Amino acid sequence: MANKLIREIGLPKSIANIFAARNIVTAKDALSLTEFELMELLDVGWAEVTSAVAHISAIVCPPYQSALSLMEQRVQNEHLAGHLPTRLKGLDEALCGGIPFGVLTELVGPAGIGKTQFCLKLSLLASLPSSYGGLDGHVIYIDVESKFSSRRLIEIGAKSFPEIFLTKGMAQKMSGRILVWRPASLSEFTERLQQIKVSLHRNEVKLLVIDSMAALVSGEYEQGIPRQHPLGWHVSFIKSLAEFSRIPIVVTNQVRSQSRDEACQFSFQVQRWKETKEDQARYGSHLVAALGVHWAHAVTIRLVLEAKSGQRFLKVSKSPISPPLAFPFDITASGMSLLSDDGIDLTGPDINAIRSQGHSDIINFTGESLQ
């Protein structure tokens, strides 16, 4: 709006001609000067200048909006953008419908906690016919760690949707919509990203899964070199894929142990770090998401899967539309199942803490298991 032409704003013709004669062409040109500067430059009176500036400002400045109108606009945008329902009632209610289109959703947690199980279920839901609540499309599943299991996929489908998967030929049809690709390295993944962008449109892809992003960089660089810099281009490109295609993109991430330097940025944190190290076997809360801060800022939704006191929890750790919540869950033959649809409110350190009681396969920067 700042580049709107003065002659198109509706000023009286006499004053508009004076602006044009003094080479003040756009609203930005006029509003960049004070009233006194305009009086001197245009050689007109105070009343004419202030009237012209007020008129220009009213035309080009955005109107005020109430909090109510902003909320209504956001609800409308969310409705138009769409969601992929997870069929986990409590989580879908918290996320206003499910995994949102057009943004990155991250699943982070220790090995064996259920990230791939969740991704398999989402893949099935995206490939289901729309009459059954699915997106009736294809899925691109980037299986970095070779954990994708067709047998497990069919089992989840048969237990969750027996009326579909027990019909002759339907299991093959549904599984045939899920396109699995296993890149051997980060460089191969980089080369294929452009092809993926084309495939999203050609193949009517309704979901992109990357399982896992952290495994792509594991072992590619020596220990101690920050991961967020090599991934900078990938972060930007994947975000643009989500915005361009308007589909949900789900990316899994691993966890790693928190270094002393990260935990002790200030002197008062040193004692707390010592106490945490002493109690970490009991609390298991010394873990952080891999891939660094740059990646964390790129994701819109972060779902944390953790284990605490023998119980697994799914936490909404980061979301612009939901407060931090935790849902206890189990992994069954039909995939992930919430034990309660009523989320537990989270506050303070519990929001970002990642616990792993009973899970020892934690990945560090070099991809080795931490015992």
Domain boundaries, the chain: 6-60, 81-370
The pLDDT, as a whole number, for residue 192 is 83
* C-beta separation of 216 from 183 below 8 A: yes
Please state the rounded mean pLDDT for residues 268-280.
49
The pLDDT, as a whole number, for residue 217 is 76
Binning the chain into helix, strand and coil, the percentages to the nearest 5 are 45, 20, 35
Tens of pLDDT, residues 86-120:
999 999 999 999 999 999 999 999 999 999 999 99
- Of the pLDDT bands very low, low, confident and very high (cuts 50, 70, 90), residue 358 is low
Please state the rounded mean pLDDT for residues 58-77.
74
Please state the rounded mean pLDDT for residues 187-215.
85
The pLDDT, as a whole number, for residue 275 is 52
- Of the pLDDT bands very low, low, confident and very high (cuts 50, 70, 90), residue 342 is very high
Whole-number Å distance between alpha carbons of 53 and 45: 13
Residue 249 has pLDDT above 90, yes or no: yes
Residue 223 has pLDDT above 50, yes or no: no
Residue 9 has pLDDT above 90, yes or no: no
Residue 193 has pLDDT above 60, yes or no: yes
Tens of pLDDT, residues 289-321:
888 888 888 899 999 999 988 899 999 999 998
Q: Which residue has the tokens 């970490």?
A: 280
* C-beta separation of 315 from 304 below 8 A: yes
- Write down how long the chain is: 371
The pLDDT, as a whole number, for residue 274 is 54
Residue 226 has pLDDT above 70, yes or no: no
What type of residue is 296?
A
78-82, 119-123, 205-209: least confidently modelled range = 78-82
Residue 62: which of 141, 133, 4 has the closest Cα? 4
* C-beta separation of 220 from 185 below 8 A: yes
The pLDDT, as a whole number, for residue 290 is 86
The pLDDT, as a whole number, for residue 69 is 79
Q: What is the distance of C-alpha 285 from the center of its chain?
A: 23
Higher pLDDT, 277 or 127: 127
The pLDDT, as a whole number, for residue 365 is 35
The class that CATH gives domain 81-370 is alpha beta
